[in-house]
Amino acid sequence: MAIARLPLIAIDCPDPGALARFYGAMLDWKIDVSADRASVCPEDGQCIAFHRVADYTPPTWPAQERPKQMHLDMLVDDLDAAEARVIDLGATKHPDQPGTSYRVFVDPAGHPFCLCLE
């Protein structure tokens, strides 16, 4: 029996609404925005929350001056199609691409995330 449940993942950022709209569009999840917090949630699962942090500084992955601390892996059927769509939403493809079955991107607030073949 589990000790706890994981209802959401919280991510620090400078603009919670902008990041919620980015991930909400990518995942086709419901977006909820308030002044200093926002979230995206599917109909029947866990949520991702975004919290405003004053003087937010993004990670410098793969350098370790400011480690990534966390990242999200998103499963996709077609890397090329998914790449085009997340770039249209505001992601940036990271210059360091260490694998072939996944691609590393940076969200609009500077967090690295991966699109991975299922």
- Residue 3: pLDDT band with limits 50, 70, 90: low
DSSP letter at 2?
A: -
Q: What is the mean pLDDT of residues 36-48?
A: 92
Residue boundaries of the structural domains of the chain: 1-56, 57-118
Q: How far is residue 82's CA from residue 87's CA, in Å, rounded to a whole number?
A: 9
- Residue 92: pLDDT band with limits 50, 70, 90: very high
Q: How far is residue 59's CA from residue 79's CA, in Å, rounded to a whole number?
A: 24
CA angle, 46 as apex, 82 and 70 as ends, to 5°?
A: 65
pLDDT at 2 over 80: no
pLDDT at 41 over 90: yes
Looking at domain 1-56, its CATH class is alpha beta
- What integer pLDDT is reported at residue 42 of this predicted model? 94
- CATH no. of 57-118: 3.10.180.10
pLDDT at 50 over 90: yes
Closest C-alpha to 30, from 38, 8, 54, 91: 38
Lowest-confidence segment of 23-32, 63-72, 105-114 by average pLDDT: 63-72
23 in Cβ contact with 40 (< 8 Å): yes
pLDDT at 14 over 90: yes
Structure tokens of 93?
């493809």
- What integer pLDDT is reported at residue 61 of this predicted model? 87
Q: What is the mean pLDDT of residues 62-82?
A: 88
